[in-house]
Amino acid sequence: MVSIKSFPDTALPAGEVVSEETFPVCKTDSHTKVPTSTRKAEKPAFPLPWLFLASRAGRPSGTLVLKPEQPNSLLMNRSSLLPGGRSLSVLGAVIVGSLALTLVGCKQEGGGGGGAAAGTEPIRVGEYASLHGSEATFGQSSHNGTVIAVEEINAAGGVLGRKVELITDDNQSKSGESATIVKKFISRDKVVAVLGEVASGRSLEAAPICQTNRVPMVSPSSTNPDVTATGDYIFRVCFTDPFQGRLLAEFARKSLKATKVALLTDVASAYSAGLAKYFREPFEKNGGQVVIEQKYTGKDKDFRAQLTAIKAANVNAIVVPGYYTEVGLIVAQARQLGINVPIFGGDGWEAPELIEIAGAENLANTFYSTHFSPEVKNPLIEQFVAAYKTKFGQVPDAMAALGYDSAVVLFDAIKRAGSTEGPKIRDALAATKDFPCLTGKTTLDAQRNATKSAVIITVKDGKFKYLETVEP
Amino acid sequence: MTELLQQVINGLSLGAIYALIALGYTMVYGVLRFINFAHSDVFMLGAFTAFYSSRAMGRWGFASGGFLGGLLVLVISMAACAAVGILIERLAYRPLRKRSTLTVLITAIGVSLLLQNGGQMVFGVNPKAFPNIFPSQTFKLGGLVINSNQLVVLGVALALLTALHWIVQRTRIGTAMRAVSFNATAASLVGIDTNRIISFTFGLGSALAGAGGVLYGMNYPSIEPLMGNSPGLKAFIAAVLGGIGSLPGAALGGMVLGFVETGVSGTRWSTYRDAVAFAILIGILLFRPAGLLGRNRIEKV
């Protein structure tokens, strides 16, 4: 099952008494119903997400059902998640909490997620993705890959005998949205784990929330090292920027024979700034020199000023560790200004829009490193490429492969954990070793990062072309 | 030296676009005393009209990459934007003519949001690659590089500024515009149809925004429904900088802003680009509250 939800659809009808059906606060085996007449249905629930969440946390209205071993701290936790409406939510949490304490002796277990009872109910996995906006191509590819993984596992009978339900929410490539979405996933949809995001900046927003609630999060393609450094519940299935930076530095020194390069960094993106840093260190250690570093801010359109300064610095190559929307314009404007040196960058480049925006002829002599190429021969890849083509009518890119990998690694962990409880899934994820993935065998190390090979792609006649594979 | 000259060229082409958008803000302000926040979204519509019309022309076998084809696309976009501008004024602002400026201002923000989100629904949210509507060529003068698009931007901007100046200063309707701007009640007393003049002003301002959108798309060929936000804000700053309500002020403000941004971006402090632009705005407003070329108006209380 794959369902896409968005806030307006899930907003509560005003003034409705919420039943156990709509909101399984926590479930019980013995179905001990505790009637509460203390608070009738709350005042109209506003469609504003945070207000709505706030009123939800303090909602003992309707029927409240408690389960002995269910941690009442869950409710407390949830209220602490809320950004606003504090007094209301705190009050609500206190009421619920004390009720729970007086009625049932609750045992603390400290697990978030996994709230829904076992049985035949689907296992819910939340996915926050950039389906629209500036990184939409990445987000959609990644989402498509995930969808294929979910369909495959459900066709094979699901995980632990239960179907997997993927709940996807779109953050529109905006900062600030991911945090809200993940809060909703955990407090309301009761997901057992979270998948996301392609952009490191937005993964960094969601990661602390997953960490505090002990819900494992697997990022498909956030390469910034800080993402998994957030805590022991945050994993990734792709290589990290230090590795990618080192690889790019090596590529610049050996393949391009560049000694003097210019850096053009997007200061508004954690990914870009990180990759620039990890490129610079090994490059300078190997005798290279970053002659000039220029900066821009995501969504900028005019890079001529920076490029003119770069041109005057007379470099052998330009490193642009950015995302395709800006990279396309940068490459086009650089070529217009008569800069013909190689331009290269990381996996943020990979999107068909890059060729449309930059123009095929401008992309001659450009390179980027990425995780996957559909041209590599491997039965797993061939099968995935075929399935992807049938369903979406296009050849999958690296983001699609990583989206797929993030999901299969998670399902494998849930299987091995034999449970949908956050801490158990976490332990199983941490023990992932040599799991066959599209982007190479995946082993998650002590820092919860994957170590795997990378490929270098170049653009020839308006098409992405596989150049070489680089082992870690 | 070459680098400096190159930056001057870069600044000119950026400033020309800011100037074109700023003119629309300042003209509407001059006549109606309110900021039309939807202006930056009309700018976006201009770029999208050009995108779709050049596609349609390509389908009908019209060469849209040629010079004449490019001009035709430009004219179509300007006409479409003029129509949209007049429509917005008629539907959203005219019913509120007698209300406080604040009401109209908030309506303008509403219209802006409507256009942005409507645009996301209709055009899709992903950036689109803007086609080459004029033949593109790069000229080299010594170490200097000038792209033909930059020349077209400058040429079109200059031509439109001249045309606008002529309309406002030399024609009957321009005289009427100035009269309405001076005193709307008195203008209607001497027989000027103020509604018609206001419609015309919106049409003219929106056509300039449309042209700005097309030129922006040519220069930065990635367009999306929210593309108006940043240049719109910059143009608004330019209008205030030059003295809002003053047409030469808007043109000057746009150029100043273009130069400042390029100048800062070309140095090590490129991230402080917007900070410097705003600091200059604050500085000018501190010493010349009416802007560079604005006149001090005494408000009667």
Helix B247-265 to helix A304-312 angle (10° resolution) is 40
Contact A357 B7 (CB under 8 A): no
Percentage of the residues of chain B whose pLDDT score is greater than 90? 49
Residue A336 domain flag: yes
Statement to judge: residues A289 and A348 lie in one domain: yes
A174 touches chain B (CB under 8 A): no
Nearest-CA distance from A265 to chain B in Å?
Answer: 10
Range of the domain at A365: 242-370
- For residue A17, CA distances in Å to A24, A97, A189, A348, B113 come to 13, 20, 19, 47, 34
B50-75 pLDDT tens trace? 999 998 888 876 665 678 888 999 99
Residues in B closer than 8 angstroms to A297, CB to CB, are 271, 273
Q: Which of A267, A302, A310 to mutate to test the interface with B (most CBs of B within 10 A)?
A: A302
User: pLDDT tens for residues A410-448?
Assistant: 999 999 999 889 999 999 999 998 898 898 888 898 889
Tokens coding B60: 């009908």
Together in a domain, A259 and A316: yes
Number of independent structural domains in chain A: 3
In chain B, what residues touch A332 (CB-CB under 8 Å)? 221
Closest residue by Cα to residue B20 from B48, B3, B42, B35: B42
Measured between beta carbons, the chain A residues lying within 8 angstroms of B267 are 309
Q: Which residues of B touch A308 (CB under 8 A)?
A: 3, 6-7, 10, 266
Q: How far apart (Å, rounded) are the C-alpha atoms in residues A176 and A193? A: 20
pLDDT band, very low/low/confident/very high, at B296 (cuts 50, 70, 90):
low
Does residue A276 or residue A85 have the better pLDDT? A276
- Percentage above 70 pLDDT, chain A: 75
Over residues B84-111, the mean pLDDT reads 92
Contact B160, B211 (CB under 8 A): yes
Let me know if residue A96 belongs to a domain.
Answer: yes
Q: Which residues sit opposite A33 in a β-bridge?
A: A65
- Contact at CB, A312 and B2, closer than 8 angstroms: yes
Residue in A closest to B226 by C-alpha:
A133
Is A22 inside any structural domain? yes
Q: Is the same domain home to A232 and A248? A: no
Which ranges of chain B would DSSP assign to H, the alpha helix? 2-32, 39-59, 67-88, 101-123, 148-170, 172-182, 184-189, 194-219, 229-242, 247-265, 273-287
Q: Which of A142, A126, A143, A223 is nearest to A179 (CA)?
A: A126
Q: For A356, which of B129, B220, B262 is closest by C-beta distance? A: B129
Q: ipTM of the assembly?
A: 0.83
Taking only the tens place, the pLDDT of each residue in A85-102 is: 444 444 444 444 444 444
What type of residue sits at position B68?
A: L
pLDDT at res. B88? 95
Task: Indicate whether A446 and A416 sit together in one domain.
Answer: yes
Q: What is the pLDDT of residue A172?
A: 86
The pLDDT value recorded for residue A27 is: 40
**Chain B residues with CB within 8 Å of chain A CB:** 2-3, 6-7, 10-11, 14, 120, 125-129, 138, 140, 145, 147, 216, 219-222, 224, 227, 230, 261-268, 270-271, 273
Which residues of chain B make contact with A172, given a CB cutoff of 8 A? 125
Q: Roughly what angle, to the nearest 10 degrees, separates helices B39-59 and B101-123?
A: 30
Tokens linked to A365: 């002599």
Q: Where are the domains of chain B?
A: 15-225
Mean pLDDT over residues A379-389, rounded? 91
Beta carbon pairs, A and B, within 8 Å: 88
Nearest CB neighbour to A337, from listed B145, B220, B266: B145
Please check whether residue A337 touches B, CB under 8 A: yes
Q: Which of A125, A132, A128, A141 is nearest to A1 (CA)?
A: A125
For B103, residues 6+ apart whose C-beta sits below 8 A from its C-beta are: B96
A294 touches chain B (CB under 8 A): yes
Nearest to A323 by CA among B218, B222, B253: B222
A471 in a structural domain: no
- CA distances in angstroms from B69 to B62, B84, B152, B218, listed in the order given: 7, 23, 14, 14
Q: Are residues A232 and A259 in the same domain?
A: no
Torsion, Cα A197 A199 A200 A204, to 10 degrees, reads: -50
* Disruptive mutation site among B51, B122, B125, B269 for chain A (greatest number of A CBs within 10 Å): B125
Q: Is B295 helix (H, G, I), strand (E, B) or coil?
A: coil
User: How long is chain B?
Assistant: 301
- Mean local confidence (pLDDT), B201-225: 92
**In this predicted structure, what is the pLDDT of residue A12?**
41
Q: Which two tokens stand for residue A156?
A: 């094979």
Would you call B7 and A329 a contact, using CB atoms and an 8 Å cutoff? Answer: no
Rounded CA-CA distance B31/B56 in Å is 36
A109 within domain boundaries: no
Mean pLDDT, rounded, for A71-95? 43
The Cα diameter of chain B in Å comes to 62
Rounded CA-CA distance B165/B159 in Å is 10
* B223 min Cα distance to partner chain A (Å): 10
Angstrom CA distances, B38 to A202, B104, B206, stand at 30, 11, 10
Determine, for residues B222 and A328 on separate chains, whether the beta-carbon distance falls below 8 Å: yes
Residue B267, pLDDT score: 85
Which pLDDT belongs to residue B109? 94
Q: From the centroid of its chain, how far is CA A417?
A: 22
Q: Closest to B10 (Cβ–Cβ): which among A296, A305, A312?
A: A305
Beta strands in A268-349 (DSSP E): 289-296, 317-319, 343-345
Check whether residue A298 and residue A355 sit in a common domain: yes
Chain A residues within 8 A of B14 when measuring between CB atoms: 302, 304
Asked if the model's pLDDT at residue A207 lies above 50, the reply is yes
**Could you tell me the two tokens for B35?**
């900021």
Report yes or no: B10 and A308 within 8 Å, Cβ to Cβ: yes
Domain at A199, CATH number: 3.40.50.2300
Contacts of A134 in chain B (CB under 8 A): 127, 224
Report residue A454's pLDDT band, with 50, 70 and 90 as the boundaries: confident
Q: List the one residue out of A420, A109, A122, A371 whose CA is nearest residue A223.
A: A371
Confidence of residue A458 (pLDDT cuts 50, 70, 90): very high
pLDDT digits (tens, 9 = 90+) for A294-350: 999 888 888 999 999 999 999 999 999 999 889 999 999 999 888 999 999 998 898
Rounded-to-integer distance, Cα A60 and Cα A375, Å: 56
3-state SS assignment for residue B116? helix
- If asked whether residues A316 and A350 sit together in one domain, one would say yes
Residues of A in contact with B263 (CB under 8 A): 305
State how far the Cα of A440 lies from the Cα of A444, in Å rounded to an integer: 12
> Rounded to two decimals, what is the model's pTM?
0.74
What mean pLDDT, rounded, does chain A reach?
78
Residue A118 lies in a domain: no
- Encoded amino acid at A202, one letter: R
Is A464 among the domain residues? Answer: no
CA angle, residues A195, A197, A201, in degrees to nearest 5: 140
- Judge: B266–A308 Cβ closer than 8 Å, yes or no: yes
Q: Any bridge partners for residue A146, and if so which? A: none
Q: Is the Cα torsion angle B120, B121, B124, B126 positive or negative in sign?
A: positive
